[in-house]
A and B are shown apart, each in its own frame.
Chain A
Amino acid sequence: DAGITQSPRYKITETGRQVTLMCHQTWSHSYMFWYRQDLGHGLRLIYYSAAADITDKGEVPDGYVVSRSKTENFPLTLESATRSQTSVYFCASKGLAGEETQYFGPGTRLLVL
């Protein structure tokens, strides 16, 4: 049972490059989320999705794009990476609107040079 996976686990890129972080879950959960975690800020929501083809902005969406063409996948794209986007990115999912628990992937550590 793979659960929720993220790839790549580590990524180094350069300023201005496009980067896509992948998130895949095997539970058929309706909701998926992308967070970034930085020292001094904790986890902050970037984007979330309630179902396939439904996405909405979180607290810090600028510079990011998401899509959800299939329920199980929720890729996050940095269109033109900046140094301030160096962070640890976590994907999460949960099943129903009333369900409380979000399950997190292992994270992607991104370094933008």
Chain B
Amino acid sequence: RKEVEQDPGPFNVPEGATVAFNCTYSNSASQSFFWYRQDCRKEPKLLMSVYSSGNEDGRFTAQLNRASQYISLLIRDSKLSDSATYLCVVGKAAGNKLTFGGGTRVLVKP
């Protein structure tokens, strides 16, 4: 079983709609959680960290469920520019070594 698992998608989303997806992690000792965004053939970039209380950054909301060992990302009012692969990332301590999920591809269409 992979340490971090994601639905690869693609999630085809009409422009303006809401899309949400999860990732699960297997190591209960994990302490840091992130969503990174990766555009086609580009480097990953941090989208947002995920905190226990949940957090929001504009149209993006991230949630952490430690009991069930999953994190989620919700995108509201999807824009064409949101089309990308979203990587779920988990760290054991202080983020020094990160484990990446395979990514969830999102395609926003007009």
State the A residues within 8 Å of B (CB): 31, 35, 40-45, 48, 50, 58, 90, 94, 97-102, 104-107
Contact (A45, B95) CB under 8 Å given A40-B102, A100-B32? no
Let me know if B49 and A104 touch, CB within 8 A: no
Let me know if B102 and A41 touch, CB within 8 A: yes
CA A50 to CA B97, docked complex, whole Å:
11
Q: Which residues of B are found within 8 Å of A107, using beta-carbon distances?
A: 41-43
Let me know if A104 and B103 touch, CB within 8 A: no
Q: Which residues of A are found within 8 Å of B94, using beta-carbon distances?
A: 97-98
Let me know if B95 and A100 touch, CB within 8 A: yes
B92 CB to closest chain A CB, in angstroms? 12
Q: Which residues of B are found within 8 Å of A99, using beta-carbon distances?
A: 95
Let me know if A100 and B103 touch, CB within 8 A: no
A35 CB to closest chain B CB, in angstroms? 8
Q: Which residues of B are found within 8 Å of A31, using beta-carbon distances?
A: 96
A50 CB to closest chain B CB, in angstroms? 7
Let me know if A97 and B96 touch, CB within 8 A: yes
Let me know if B98 and A102 touch, CB within 8 A: yes
The contact sample of 6 A-B pairs, CB cut-off 8 A, is A43-B100, A50-B96, A97-B96, A104-B43, A106-B43, A107-B41
User: Does B16 sit within 8 A of A, measured CB to CB?
Assistant: no
Let me know if A42 and B42 touch, CB within 8 A: no
Of the listed residues B45, B87, B96, the one surrounded by the most CB atoms of chain A closer than 10 A to its CB is: B96
